[in-house]
Structure 1
Amino acid sequence: MKNLEIIATSAMGLEAVVAKEVRALGYECEVENGRITYKGDELAVARSNLWLRTADRIKIKVGEFKGYTFDELFEKTKALPWEQFIPEDAEFPVIGKSVKSKLFSVSDSQAIVKKAIVDRLARHYKRTARFEETGAMFRIEVALLKDVATLTIDATGSGLHKRGYRTGQGEAPLKETLAAALVLLTNWTPDRPFADPFCGSGTIPIEAALIGQNIAPGFNRDFVSESWNWMPETVWEQARNEAEDLANYDQPLNITGSDIDHRMVKIAEENAFEAGLGDLVSFKQMRVQDFTTREEYGVLVSNPPYGERLGEKNTVEQMYREIGRVLSPLETWSIYILTSNEQFEQFFGKPATKKRKLFNGFIRTDFYQYWGKRPPRITE
């Protein structure tokens, strides 16, 4: 078993949520902007890919060093043990990024890192410096930040937000990873009602159902590291068996989603069935103004329109007022709304208990949290 340094990358503002998930898997971690670093073996890589609901992707860190010149970047890259990770027939493209670094040319940095790795592998595999690259994919990244180069190999493939259940989506779909984070940032537990009156393609209710039944979000998809020769099949088999054993398919759930657009409701239903949750989440066409419930101590999480487009602002602000009127009688419910509108509290009609800055893609948003009354304690 290898002792690997693993990086779970994160959207801005979600680092603490990802770190909490990593610790729940049993790994101590360090938190920095956009990344959570921890040590583990091959099983840790498999578990991280299968279980981390809010991370963007999982990477293996090969090395990190200060690099001020291209010569330094070449020599220090070549000194790293690439042969421990990359087999002779591997496909290993190099991508890059540079922020506040003397080596600001990303294309030059990529070319130098590629050449350094080729030189190292050619010497190790005793061959001329040309590789066919017909085998498994090992996508390498050189990330330069303030003159520190971090070299990683992507162990995920398609981003972790691609759960495999999305058959369709609307114009501005919420990433599955952010939707999961919104649910995890609430006080919801699976025994309480859950609602989303702006459900769109159903992402928030579906992620809530996966959380509610403790289903690993990556259970129904493949990962690029499954094809790596040093990642034994038994590791993936063990990780998937664990996930199957930990899922609580018998947990009853009361999760509803609604949307004014009947086409989105149909897509949401199809997505839920694709996720294997069709019988657990119910969707219906409804205006938010018609939202009503007799349930108590529920949790409502929603990502309503922001009014970013010209001409939409007034309509959306009026809708926020209506949301406030509709939801104000629900004293026992906790309400969580994500929006980029900085005057949301004013339109909604009351200040939030708490708000948290998050990014929906490149849009800066706030997650407005209104905590309802606590459910009464059940005494035996």
Structure 2
Amino acid sequence: MEDKKYTIVASTTMGLESIVRDECKDLGFENVQAFNGKVEFEGTLRDIARANIHLRCADRVYIKMGEFKALSFEELFQKVKRLNWEEFIEKDGNFIISWVSAVKCKLFSKSDIQSITEKAIIENLKRIYKIDRFSKKGAKFAVKVQGNKDIFSVMIDTSGVGLHKRGYRNLINEAPLKETLAAALVMLTRWKGGERPFIDPMCGTGTLPIEAAMIARNIAPGVNRNFAAEEWKIFPRNMWIDVRDEAFSQEDYDKEVRIYGSDIDGEAIKVAIENATKAGVEEDILFENKNFLELESPAEKGCVVSNPPYGERLLDDEKVERLYRLLGDVLLKRFPKWSYYIITSYKDFEKAFDKKSTKNRKLFNGGIECHYYQYYGER
């Protein structure tokens, strides 16, 4: 059973598919393919645990139960009913249809798709378990149905709470940058610690510096939290413990790591220090309450990554433009050989910053279309 292969789906924010694909390949998963908003691969139950614990930039990890064409509700019912639900869902399993989408499908009523899918699963399990009523007092099984051009993909969520919830972030001061996106921004810089320092001059509650420290130390992002599938009987009892132990053994505390995070908001800095302590990386980051105009370069070369205020987060274009002009002044004069990486939704960023980026990449931050401007320093 432990060697059986399943089709596993890691869902992603638009724009991060290639990063999650590379993460999956690095973890040794097989037949990895990227699609819009998701990456699919083949793996065992152990790989499902490893994906949840190790993937930095994915949103959730699903088991794909089946994929088929359905043009009528009867066809949808029969095809869902045929899937081997009993392999995962236990007799007392609490199964719910948690998410339905139907884009360019003949069957477009989400509520009908939801109720028919649920009915089909009940009919399947009634036959297998020879019972008419389900207590639903056991482990949770959240089923996702995704329809696109009449092709329906049916999956079970193994993660539970989204993977961006690492467990270190203080809820009082919820920053607008998700941990998964922050990790992707760091990974796109190829920075992994060592001699070159890392600076976030507008770090808010510290998400970017903390994710950078976790990457440098090779701390698996999900190692200190729980997942829905840990409650499922199909997983051997010690599998999750083994995968966590393996992750702990791969952490690297020998490397030099120099990370600086600063912000004009003193309260945010207090929260950032608490968050870093929870994440176990407080010794790798120097947090300071100061204006970015006071920045001084601690080395000849290094990496600046920032998610400065923009658009919805600052009221007018004039303020935003002035902020970026000043940021450009500080970085280009005091950090001439460094690399800079800045994410913003502000369309005229390069003009205000006064330098064209080496390259930029379209990303979405909480549904806001942004660009990640990348300036390569001296190699």
> Deviation at 1:310?
7.3
- Give yes or no for the alignment of 1:46 onto 2:49: yes
What does residue range 71-82 of structure 1 map to in structure 2 within 5 Å? Answer: 71-82=74-85
CA contact (8 A) 2:304 2:341 kept: yes
Offset of residue 289 of structure 1? 1.3
Deviations 1:116-154 (A, max 9, x none): 0000000001112x2110000011111111111110000
* Correspondence for 1:199: 203
Residue in 2 that maps onto 1:16: 18
Give matches, 1:1-380, under 5 Å. Answer: 1=2, 2-28=4-30, 29-95=32-98, 96-128=100-132, 130-168=133-171, 170=173, 172-191=175-194, 192-308=196-312, 311-329=315-333, 330-374=335-379
Aligned length: 373
Deviation at 1:173, TM superposition (A): 2.0
* 1:197-217 CA distance string (max 9 Å, x none): 010110000000000000000
Alignment correspondent of 1:378: none
Aligned residue type for 2:117: V
Once the 2 structures are TM-superposed, how far is the Cα of residue 352 of structure 1 from its aligned partner?
A: 0.3
The alpha-carbon distance between structure 1 residues 332 and 216, as it changes in their structure 2 partners (threshold 3 A), is same
SS at match of 2:357: coil
TM-score with structure 2 length normalisation?
0.96
Question: Hey, what's the Cα distance between the residues in 1 that align with 2:28 and 2:199?
Answer: 31
Residues in 2 aligned to 1:311 and 1:271: alpha-carbon distance in whole angstroms? 28
Tell me: CA distance 1:209–1:309, structure 2 relative to 1, closer, same or farther (3 Å): closer
Residues 64-110 of structure 1: CA deviation (Å, up to 9, x unaligned): 00011100100000011111111100000012111111111111101
SS across alignment from 2:20:
helix
Percent identity (aligned): 49
Helix, strand or coil for the counterpart of 1:232? coil
**What is the CA–CA distance in structure 2 between the aligned matches of 1:238 and 1:87, rounded to whole Å?**
24
Q: Deviations over 1:278-332 (max 9, x none)?
A: 1111111111111111312110000001133674221111010000100002122
**2:10 aligned counterpart, secondary structure:** strand
Structure 2 counterpart of 1:377: none
Local SS of the residue matching 1:149: strand
SS at match of 1:279: helix
Bigger shift: residues 204-213 or 81-90: 81-90
- CA shift for structure 1 position 235: 1.4
Q: Shift of residue 189 of structure 1?
A: 2.8
- 1:206-230, Cα deviation, whole Å (9 max, x unpaired): 0000000000000110011000000
CA contact (8 A) 2:73 2:113 kept: yes
Q: Distance in 2 between matches of 1:348 and 1:70?
A: 55
> Within 1, Cα distance between the matches of 2:130 and 2:171?
49
For 2:120, the aligned partner's letter is A
Q: CA deviation at 1:4?
A: 1.1
One-letter identity of the residue aligned with 2:349: F
- Mapped partners of 2:106, 2:187: distance in 1: 40
Gaps of 5+ in 2: none
- C-alpha separation in 1, matches of 2:190 and 2:239: 34
- Partners of 1:168 and 1:256 in 2: how far apart? 22
CA drift of 1:234 comes to 2.0
| 1:167–1:274 CA contact under 8 A, matched in 2 | no
The code of the aligned residue for 1:366 comes to H
* Residue-by-residue CA offset, 1:151-172 (whole Å, 9 max, x unaligned): 0000001000000000145465
Tell me, what secondary structure is at the counterpart of 2:64?
A: strand
* SS in structure 1 of the partner of residue 273 of structure 2: helix
Cα RMSD, aligned residues only: 1.2
| SS state at 2:193 partner | coil
CA distance in 2, matches of 1:87, 1:335: 51
* Contact 2:192–2:215 (Cα < 8 Å) also in 1: no
The normalised TM-score by structure 1 is 0.96
Give the secondary structure class of the aligned counterpart of 2:111.
helix
